[in-house]
Structure 1
């Protein structure tokens, strides 16, 4: 049947995250024939109740099968789902993973169009880690050859019917995704750009434990592991100077993970705790204009309902950044064009400042939230308005530097920004900067 797809979700004590996972699948199932097979293995919490709640909601249009196993074993859970597969495409989805809207149709379309056995995967959307060590590791890891541009699994992957026939049962291995990936040649593994999933890395010692588990999983595969060798990884990092400042953090996490001798199935409990005690039903308000990023941010809000603020990482206004712009060392920054904020939090922060356009409103809100101890949960969000009026941006930048820096430093920063525009109008006589300088009274209005 066209549009038919099975989704297998192994779940061990996932009551905190399973609802967001299944909710995203249900929301993505419109016009598709979707069967979700949740295999609760060794659970002593409310995982089964959370799963069955989806089946009780007839409005979703999703067929739900819940299988219970007495022991906690992911390979056994994956194999228990085999009796309920319908012989078509299969998505394997971890219970702590949230897909973004449009993922299921995009994966299905890619598999239908392949005409050969394939393994497909959504693009990983890396959630910005909270601590500096994890951020440094993530910056390097996400650019490694075995990660960038390849199906990494790490929470979500899919195979079409011919691809699923390449193996019968999952062996007793830690890394089921790496095992499946080893069965497909590089040109049979396809990353689908129209599909995405939130990739959440743990922080601190938990990251080392999880990395040790990944290493054990690859070691169990022996020579069939698709992971890139150390030499290839080193060459890739050396060829990217922007990654060098993150090398110390990456090597530290790698080194400490080699000393770990923990449980074979170690997982990050801190990541799961972050989703509990939430007010997920609060309305979300969009601030900014990057409408094509809103769906991804809504998935982020479902995954982290208690955070309250969701978007890209806003760059703080600083004197150093203003001087760099003045000297021509940096371009005029295009900040994240949209954030989502829960309505109650927006009221607590005093709403948006009407003096700003979209560019400044997003940054100003994030900065005011930061002063209240609230940090946005962030994913990469590109500015989606390349036609954004440069004079609106300049006006916002001047106001941001005045409002969020000490008075004397703010005045110096504003003068540096103005001088930067004047210099560009003289050195780069393009219509953009010539027009900006000609109309400087408009964007300098109210400058201190």
Structure 2
């Protein structure tokens, strides 16, 4: 059986997963691809570091040129992460006509165009299934299986750390900080969890998914972002009262030819399929004008799930382009030039929780301000005393309204003497609009 030689740039969590899968599933991969995949070189920073897998010393190198200048290596797999030197390494490998597979969501979201254009010019494949949602084959589905559809909406739970935290808060009533520590102990969260809990990781992934699903260039900074650090067990209880749960959703919608792009905590009905995605699992829910509703579900992170996506990209290259004949199959994101909607123009329903004085007229003053901004209320809950003072929770749920109108209302509401604090604002998605 013929061989295809590949190289790994990095042997961290994902790299170990790729190594393990290619070794353990060697026979299956060979039969399905028609070729034996051989890892010829692995680039690392420190050869002496213990990595949890046994790798022959003769294939490990600290010199990138050992890979770049080896013409027998046809596919280079970048799993080192970060922007540099990963970007420069991939560009140089493309210049040597090497096919590229990557799991680097940050680089794809922030600098993907340069890599796409270089792949175009050199006539090489550039695959990145593992950059979004771990082992879920969502990029292949959008690129291939759904090409006969106009995708209208996409909702994603695309960060396992935040989903683990919010799920525990919902099911166990635990506090955010306690669950974050547990997530770090389990390896779901990094020592510095900022990228996850503040929504940056999901922001990168949504930029990639939106570019593919809607065929338009999406700059990551155009994606509105909020994290989950303001969510409390009190908000979870109120969500339950409304028959809802709270998830960090990545949302993109085509609204009158403009794209809504946002990542934020969202209340959704407990009966919706996304509401039942727990632990570190990911899910992507798509509405297509022909296929209707679809949901893709699976492990969103980890060495083997993400490694599985990387290996599938390797096999795809071998199957479709093994002769490396300059057949360029890079999917472009410049088919249309869609305008990105300003978040202030986005319409949603809102949950607003305030602490107010428990006295007559407060609700009337608040509803008058909301009415002046064309914000109508769907329900009101007033509950309990706080610290034996005459202060209460006031929870408002609005009908569909523009974000600008909500923000203007809240600026005025803050000025009322009876309003002690605006404790939270959470958008509601009931999938009806």
Q: TM-score, normalised by structure 1?
A: 0.28
Report which of the two has the higher share of helix.
Answer: 1
Structure with more strand by fraction: 2
